[in-house]
Amino acid sequence: MDRQFLLSIFFIAFTTLSLSQPQSNITADYNTGTTTRKVTFAAIAVDRNNDQVIVGAVTDYHSLSEACARAEEQCKLRGGYYPKVVLAWEGGGCAYIIFQNRFAGIYSWSLRETEAVAKSEAMTAYLNLTEGTAADIGAGVCNGGKISDLKIHIRPNGGF
């Protein structure tokens, strides 16, 4: 099987298991096309469907618009109707976003060189915001490329 496909499956399973929430509705997609560009784009889209928050995440796309469109598409495939890209970046780096399922107004995120650092930073900030209340959903993805090329194009501002 394709290595990226297996990593995608592992990521989804790991995220779901690590948060111990069977109602998590997270999807990730990794572009398998080859590129000669060194800089690639990634995006995370979020939507609400009743009490569920749905996430679509994509990495390693050739353009910002392509990554954003694909993240929204992934979110729709999981049950979202009007997804919104809440984080998009180019270059290397790993993003992690954490939020509550039933009340999506409280969230935290981080974009760092590794997913472990991003997750730790996002979790610490989230726990500070919620005074220790556990998160329902977390999603993390890593984009290819050099961390020195990192540039954030869309960042979370407000609730989803």
Give pLDDT tens digits for 31-53: 545 545 468 999 999 888 777 78
For residue 84, being part of any structural domain is answered with yes
CA nearest 156: which of 46, 30, 39? 46
- Dig out the tokens for 55 from the structure: 């996430």
For residue 106, being part of any structural domain is answered with no
121 vs 107, higher pLDDT: 121
For residue 41, being part of any structural domain is answered with yes
Most confident of 17-26, 98-107, 144-153: 144-153
The CA–CA distances, whole Å, from 28 to 35, 37, 50, 129 equal 20, 22, 21, 26
Specify which residues 57 forms β-bridges with.
28, 44
- Whether pLDDT at 149 is above 90: no
Domain count, the chain: 1
**Cβ neighbours of residue 6 closer than 8 Å, sequence gap 6 or more:** none
Q: What percent of the chain has pLDDT over 90?
A: 40
Indicate the average pLDDT of the chain: 77
For residue 115, being part of any structural domain is answered with no
Element spanning 157, H or E: none
Half-sphere exposure at residue 150, Cβ-oriented, CA atoms within 13 angstroms: 14
- pTM score: 0.72
Q: Indicate the residue type of 22.
A: P
For residue 99, being part of any structural domain is answered with no
How far apart are the C-alpha atoms of 149 and 158, rounded to whole Å? 26
How far apart are the C-alpha atoms of 67 and 85, rounded to whole Å? 10
In this predicted model, what pLDDT tens digit does every residue of 132-147 receive, in sequence order?
A: 777 777 888 999 888 8
For residue 101, being part of any structural domain is answered with no
For residue 71, being part of any structural domain is answered with yes
Domain around 70 = 3-93+137-154
- Dig out the tokens for 100 from the structure: 């509550």
**Cβ neighbours of residue 19 closer than 8 Å, sequence gap 6 or more:** 135, 136, 137, 138
